[in-house]
Chain A
Amino acid sequence: NAGVMQNPRHLVRRRGQEARLRCSPMKGHSHVYWYRQLPEEGLKFMVYLQKENIIDESGMPKERFSAEFPKEGPSILRIQQVVRGDSAAYFCASSAFGSNTEAFFGQGTRLTVV
């Protein structure tokens, strides 16, 4: 049973480009959480999704950021027109029953905007 898989592990984008981060939850998990970790800061909640639904996006910036979790395939966090301040580690966690205390984290994607 593979863990939560995130790819790519490292992503470099120039300012103004788009970044797409993928998260494949653990088998049998239908709940996904995205967190962002800025340098020397804790993880900050961004969005909570269940298959085909956004449950809570209270932590998502209002512009340029979007997330989806389609019926088939991984969850995608999309950042349009990236800026240097988007450079961070983005972690995804998944759970089976919507309990974030029982969620397992992926290895993260480290985004660097140059």
Chain B
Amino acid sequence: EDKVVQSPLSLVVHEGDTVTLNCSYEVTNFRSLLWYKQEKKAPTFLFMLTSSGIEKKSGRLSSILDKKELFSILNITATQTGDSAVYLCAVEDGNKLVFGAGTILRVKS
């Protein structure tokens, strides 16, 4: 059965800290891996990764994929309270996205 596992389940940090969120996966028909941010509403897209070893960056966020070891990480540097959210990892498997349970990040001021 396809599965996506995220760790840690939850994390509390102080503003300015750097965090690393992990996502490992086992899917039959991998096409891409996506990261989303969810703040009590619609998940909003962050990154899509298809190739190993190529880092994607957007401001303080970056992500990389390792297709050999079947995992991805999402880094957030200099965290701010506005980064508090659930971060979802999803893997594209044919017609559907297979989501992990998410990592709850809380950034304290």
List chain A positions with a Cβ less than 8 A from chain B: 3-4, 33, 35, 40-45, 48, 55-56, 58-59, 91, 100-101, 104-108
Contact = CB atoms under 8 A, between A and B. Distances in A.
B41 A41 contact: no
B20 to A, nearest CB: 19
Contacts, number: 55
- Which secondary structure dominates chain B's binding surface? strand
Given A42-B101, A43-B88, A101-B32, A55 B95 contact: yes
B85 interface: no
A42 B4 contact: yes
A106 B96 contact: no
B95 A42 contact: no
Contact of B96 (A40, A59, A104): A59
B42 A106 contact: yes
Contact of A107 (B34, B42, B48, B97): B42
B71 to A, nearest CB: 16
B98 interface: yes
Contacts of B98: 45
